[in-house]
Amino acid sequence: MDVQGQREDNKMTQEGLFKVPNPHISALKEDFLYHITIGNKTHDLKDMFHDVKFVCFGGSQSRMRKFAEYMVEALNHKLPAGQGLVDIAHESDRYVLYKVGPVLSVSHGMGIPSLSIIFHEVLKLLFHAECSDVTFFRLGTSGGLGLEPGSVVITEEALDGLLQPYLEVPVMGEIKRHPSKLSKELAEELVSIAPKGFQTLIGKTMCTDDFYEGQARLDGAFCDHTEGEKMEFLRRMHQQGIRNIEMESLCFAAYSYRAGIKSAVVCVTLLDRLKGDQISTPHDVMAVWEKRPQQLIATYIRNKLGIEK
């Protein structure tokens, strides 16, 4: 097992210009981003994306469409008569990609491998477009630990299913480890602008590759553990400062850090796992909760752009 050293070097140059940490990319005759069906020879990526400053990722395609629509409103973004948002990646059904001024709204599907593909391709997109000073957000849903459902958790540190703070990637027969660090400053800034009426807090996040057994649930198709063992593990997690569980933060944090990009993971909790496994909240209540990370990120972006509500 090869333990890769931490990368403390920031991939931004002095001017903040983003560069991918892969020397082979510049040497490619053509770079076609297969899963979002755009490329640096078929499209003028600099013209299309040079002004991007915020990339917002989320699992669900429809939720990221709605987030883009919401950003049109939140940023007072004027769409000329007869024009509407279109999914830039519409030739593929793998992901959606919307652009509203300096904001990209991108879906990542479920789980680390699905997030990993779009993360590679978005980084290459930003590189080809010569973007600078870009911030990444993941806006998601999660299971909570000891929190009122509907609370919002901003990830302090992402841990894997064995509670280790790094992503392990098998590369050509060897495990490479990448620390899953996130920006403390950005997390604190987000908490400071959070609305009242529900809890927004900083906590650790466990990121798993399995929704059922991997999250100690008893209600999957497979289960070899008891209620007692489940509760003991969940309580141990809670004692270690873990406040929510989801399936992408580890890779999101590790690859942001590796690329030298400031990032935050903002997830609403849909249930308290100390009280159950199944998600039974009515649809309309959940719809309100799911908007909370979006509203927080919209406020942050508005502040940064100096847009008055």
Residue 115 CB, nearest distance to a copy of itself (Å)? 8
Give the DSSP per-residue string, 40-104. TTTS-HHHHHTT--EEEEES-HHHHHHHHHHHHHHTT-PPPTT-----TTTT-SS--EEEETTEE
Nearest approach in angstroms of CB 185 to a copy of itself is 24
CA distance linking residue 245 with residue 268, whole number of Å: 10
Q: Scan for tokens 């590189």, then name that residue.
A: 127
Contact yes or no for 180/265 (Cβ under 8 A)? no
CB of 154 to a copy of itself, least distance (A): 22
The token pair that represents 111 in the structure block: 């789980």
**Of the two residues 19 and 53, which places its CB atom closer to a copy of itself in the complex?**
19
> CB-wise, 24 or 78, nearer to a copy of itself?
24
Rounded least distance, CB 126 to a copy of itself, Å: 9
- Least Å distance, CB 176 to a copy of itself, is 8
Q: Which residues contact residue 256 at a Cβ distance below 8 angstroms, ignoring those fewer than 6 apart?
A: 136, 182, 262, 263
At closest approach, how far in Å is the CB of 86 from a copy of itself?
17
β-strand partners of 158: 205
Tokens of 117: 């593909």
C-alpha span between 243 and 40 (Å, rounded): 41
Nearer to a copy of itself, 217 or 292 (CB): 217
With respect to a copy of itself, which residue has the nearer C-beta, 117 or 187?
117
Among residues 20 and 266, whose Cβ is nearest to a copy of itself?
Answer: 20
Nearer to a copy of itself, 47 or 227 (CB): 227
Contact 91, 39 (CB under 8 A): no
